[in-house]
Amino acid sequence: MNILMINQPLNNRGDESAHKALLRAVCKEKKNVRVTVLFIGANPDSIHQFDVHLPQVTYVNLSEMRGMGCLSKLGMIYNVRWIWHLHPMIFNIMKLYKESDVVLCAPGGICMGGFQNWWHLFMLQLAKYIGKPLVYYGRSFGPFPVVTRSNRQFKKLSVEMLHYFSFLSIRDKKSESLAQELGIRYVATVDSAFLDSPKLELPDEILSFIGHKPYVVFVPNQLNWHYAYRHVSDDSLLTFYSSIIDLLIKRYPGHNIVMLPQLFNAGGWCDYLFFEKIKGRNPNAPLVSISDKYNSDVQQTVIAGAQSVIGARYHSIVFAINNGVPFISLSYEHKMSGLLCSLGGEEMMVDIVDTFISSENMQATIELIRSKLNVICLDQKLRFKAQNMAQNCFDKFVRSIFSICG
């Protein structure tokens, strides 16, 4: 069987972990499978860092050409998809689709929703246009705003695709609720990273940074990259995270506070640069920033040795649960709250959506985090439930797709 994987997000260690875990599982389950992972105009180093290094998997990076985005969107909006044949690079993409038995949309973030990613939607529409079975695996989607004409067009085309998928698995409760409202069949799951529990020897550089002291992991998020937090200043974010660092110092005396960057090759949005600002604001705190060159397997191993994890990044919480480490989730959007709702772990979540509206809100959030830190623990049932849900979904995916494709 030939699988074409599309829409793989890059430059994020969480997306890397989901990518590697799913492909490792696929190639272990079906030795004769061939997977082509398609990128358009991607950073070669980013692809290299995602490489799962399996003989069944090939990475293809086609050049980006002028007019691709405009033509792809026009074809969808005005229902003139035949114009896609006129663009030489889109024509080359279509050839790869035709050579595949099934098209698999890689696990990842909320591209069908508030971010309104038209290229993501086009790559899905292309599978429908060519008539290929299409898998939407371990994703979140929605909410769909309808304020503008563009919003309404995007929602209409997205719902069309949601009904077309040959196999749809959803990784959070809030996306499940939307699917139920739309009358869409799906398989409930959690993040694909739960399919794998990598363990390895930590590099000497990391061991030298961490030292012999116990440590906690803290994963801040420079939230103003997100459409819902663009009004939030860096200064407000630094004040918020500095307050959390003060709490951690009091709760874990004698511990290092290790910050793990999720983003890499992301220009000015790289987490490591933001962490340096946090260290500058807290010069006397026992803060350790791990380089963003280390892959997701290394990050999971670091988290496995931590006393606890406080994370404002989705996959920091996934990694904590996957490795049986107590955590507090600083939930900034529904994929984080939805995960914990699916697993029954809401008591270890702090919703930070309204935190930056006022200083009073920020102080209330800090106090809630303080109270959670006083009772932080992990119910190991969360780990088992997450891993079982991930495996059950994968088993259904294998049965479904291989029955469709013979």
> In angstroms, rounded to a whole number, what is the distance separating the alpha carbons of residues 319 and 309?
9
Six-digit token string for 357 = 């509206």
Domains of the chain: 2-195+386-404 (3.40.50.2000), 204-322+327-377 (3.40.50)
Tell me the average pLDDT across 247-275.
93
What pTM value is reported for the model? 0.93
Sheet containing 134-139: order of strands: 57-62, 34-40, 2-6, 102-105, 134-139, 167-170, 187-188
Of the listed ranges 57-71, 92-106, 237-251, 262-276, the one predicted with least confidence: 262-276
277 residue type, one letter: K
Six-digit token string for 276 = 């340096």
Say if CB 59 and CB 51 are below 8 A apart: yes
Six-digit token string for 365 = 């959030």
What are 218's strand-pairing partners?
259, 310
pLDDT tens per residue across span 90-146: 999 999 999 999 999 999 878 888 778 999 999 999 999 999 999 999 998 888 889
- Is pLDDT above 90 for 259? yes
Question: Per-residue confidence at 240, pLDDT binned at 50, 70, 90?
Answer: very high
Using CB atoms within 10 Å of the CB of residue 376, give its burial: 0 to 12 exposed, 13 to 18 middle, 19+ buried: middle
| Distance of alpha carbon 199 from the chain centroid | 20
Q: How many helices (H) and strands (E) does the chain have?
A: 15, 13
Tell me the average pLDDT across 20-48.
96
Say if CB 133 and CB 404 are below 8 A apart: yes
pLDDT tens per residue across span 166-218: 999 998 888 899 999 999 999 999 999 999 999 899 999 999 888 778 999 99
Helix (H) or strand (E) holding 83, with range, is none
